[in-house]
Structure 1
Amino acid sequence: MGAEFDLNLIRTFVLLYETRSVTAAADVLGVTQPTVSYGLGKLRRRLGDELFARGPGGLVPSSEAERLYPPLRTAIEQLDVTIGAATQFDPSGPISFSIGLTDLGEVNSLPLVHTELAARAPAATLQVHAFDIDTAEDQLTRGRVDAIVASPVLDSVRLNRVPLFTEGYAGMVSADHPRLRGATATDAELRGERHIVVEGTTGHPAPREALRAHGLEGHIAVRVTRFATLPYVVQDTELVAIVPNRIARAMAGTHRVRTFALPWPIEPAEIAAYTRRPPGRSAAQAWFLDVIRAALQDLP
């Protein structure tokens, strides 16, 4: 591109590619939309390519933009990491963070994250957004949320993924269930019961898959949309649920339910934190990611 190529133009190109929006790129850069549009014009003239065309979902990169993005993003990311090491975020003043969570995350992870955040930045506020797998990448890259904590894998070169902890599963029934009373349940016992499962794309498909794998899909009596619904239904019925271990323990402490060990293994789910990669990620967002890691990483 030549030594005279403006570093800010490279940064503008990377953000336009990642956000697919002049407005979102301008917000991240802290400049006006005309400034970004002017930069895009300079890029087009210097490179002799349109780079982006307008599409129904935002900017659509050209084949040349697709070719240029990986090496330019890597270069900018390395530069920002180097500069960021010398940049300190001051958490003492008022600042607001936003986090995307599933319903399980709001019950289980949110209290831990808030406690850690309050200890480090007493004046900070936190906005929680419902996790939606279809919009998660867009929410992060456009800066609508600072971080997302969830089990579904968001496979995107535009996002940074940090594994936090793994989560196994347990069975859950009402405290006075007439048949399932032991610390474990056998395969035969579960075949004699009706089950309740959570449908949807917010994560933890393993319980549904386990029932299907063991020929119990026909035993599903109720399908709900949120794990938080389960204890309210289970405590007043004879239905059986399979839930993540940590949330099962929490539900047993607040509802008339009890847990038991399952007769077959279920692959644990890996919970991870997602942020956008540099150059979009700010020093404040990098600091917030550290808060999340301190609160949740390697939980038992």
Structure 2
Amino acid sequence: MAGDFDLNLVRTFVLLYETRSVTAAADLLGVTQPTVSYGLGKLRRRLGDELFVRGPGGLIPTSEAERLYPPLRGALEQVTETLGTTTEFDPDRPTQFTLGLSDLGEVTVLPLVLAELTAQAPRARLRVQAFALDTAVDQLARGEMDAIVASPVLDSPRLRRTALFTEGYAGMVAADHPRLRTPNPGHADLEQERHVVVDGASGHTGPRKALIEHRLEDRIAVRVTRFATLPYVVQDSELVAIVPERVARALARTHAVRLFALPWPIEPVEVAAYTRHAPGRGGPQQWFLEVIRTAMDRMPAW
């Protein structure tokens, strides 16, 4: 591109690519929809390519747009950081943030984020939403959420991923389980028990894989869709569950369950925060991301 290429057109292109929507891009840029459409027209004429075509889910980038996006986004982020064009956030002003969490996140992440947000911005409001993996990227890119904290990997060039912490696993049984009474039961002990597992897109596939790897798949008696269901099922039965460790310890404080160390290792999962890339991520979103990171830094290590 020529040296006199309008930086605002680059911003328009990047946000159109990330949001897949003229309306969302206009909202993030603070301009009207006709202004974005006019900018897209200039880009098309300048580059000799359609760049985006309409599809059932919004704008679909052409192969040329796919090629241009990574270097233009990288260049725009450098310019934004160098010139400090991101709007600063005033924590004393009333505002609202929307955070995407799973049921596990509401148990472990939410209390810490809420405490940190209240301490730093007492007038801020927080809205928590569940998210679906197939729509999470679009929800973030379009500004419907300010951040998502999750263990499933949202692999998209439209998002920034910030690692927060790793999560191991522990076994969980009823507090009065008639057989598993030691803190370190062996494989032979678990082989005699019936197990409950979580199916679905939770991002925690380790427990199911461990049971399969150690030839305990035929001992799975119950399958549920959410980890938050497990303590209710376990406390009133003789079932065994494998649960993310931080969640397990939080649930053990409020349910009649007992935890134990597993006889074999399960690879920890990494929990990360996902946000939009600049320039779609403004000062408030960047500030909120730092709140999340600070809150997770204060998470106790078990």
Residues in 1 aligned to 2:297 and 2:249: alpha-carbon distance in whole angstroms? 19
Deviation for aligned residue 1:23: 1.1
CA distance in 2, matches of 1:22, 1:148: 23
Alignment of 1:157-168 (within 5 A): 157-168=157-168
Answer whether contact 1:131 1:202 (CA < 8 A) is retained.
no
* Conservation of the 8 A alpha-carbon contact between 2:80 and 2:86: no
C-alpha contact 1:199 1:225 (8 A) present in aligned 2: yes
SS at match of 1:173: strand
Provide structure 1 residue ranges, at least 5 long, that are not aligned to the other structure.
Answer: none
Question: What is the match of residue 4 of structure 1?
Answer: 4
Matched, 1:129 2:102: no
1:217, CA displacement in angstroms? 1.1
2:87 touches 2:282 (CA, 8 Å); kept in 1? no
Q: How does the TM-score come out when normalised to structure 1? A: 0.97
Shift of 1:2: 2.2
2:249 and 2:119 mapped to 1: Cα distance? 26
Residues 120-159 of structure 1 aligned to structure 2 (within 5 Å): 120-159=120-159
Q: Is the 8 A contact 2:86 2:283 kept in 1?
A: no
In the alignment, is the contact (CA less than 8 A) between 1:174 and 1:258 conserved in 2? yes
Aligned residues: 300
**What's the counterpart of residue 62 of structure 1?**
62
Deviation by residue 1:120-154 (Cα, 9 ceiling, x = unmatched)? 00000001110321111111111110001011111
Say whether 1:219 aligns with 2:223.
no
CA contact (8 A) 2:44 2:50 kept: yes
In the alignment, what sits opposite 1:19? 19
Cα 1:282–1:86 change in 2 (3 A) is closer
Distance in 1, matches of 2:85 and 2:116, equals 22
Q: Pick which of 85-94 and 242-251 moved more.
A: 85-94
DSSP-derived class of the 2:253 partner: helix
Q: Which amino acid aligns with 2:23?
A: T
The gaps in structure 2 that reach 5 residues or longer are none
Within 2, Cα distance between the matches of 1:148 and 1:84?
Answer: 25
Q: 1:168 to 1:85 in 2, by over 3 A?
A: farther
| CA distance in structure 2 between the aligned counterparts of 1:247 and 1:269, rounded to whole angstroms | 13
CA contact 2:112–2:295 (8 Å) conserved in 1: yes
> Is the 1:133–1:202 contact (alpha carbons within 8 Å) kept by the matching residues of 2?
no
Q: Match of 1:266, as an amino acid?
A: I
Per-residue CA shift, 1:175-214, capped at 9, x if unaligned? 0000000011110010100001111102211111111111
1:72–1:85 distance in 2 versus 1, CA, 3 Å: closer
Kindly provide the amino acid, as one letter, of the partner of residue 52 in structure 1: F
In the alignment, which residue of structure 1 is the partner of 2:296?
296
Superposed CA RMSD in Å reads 1.3
Match of 2:247 in 1: 247
Distance apart, 1:297 and its partner CA: 3.2
2:176 counterpart residue number = 176
- How far apart, CA to CA, are the structure 1 residues paired with 2:281 and 2:84? 10
Determine if contact 2:174/2:234 at 8 Å carries over to the other structure: yes
How far the C-alpha of 1:89 sits from its partner, in A, is 1.5
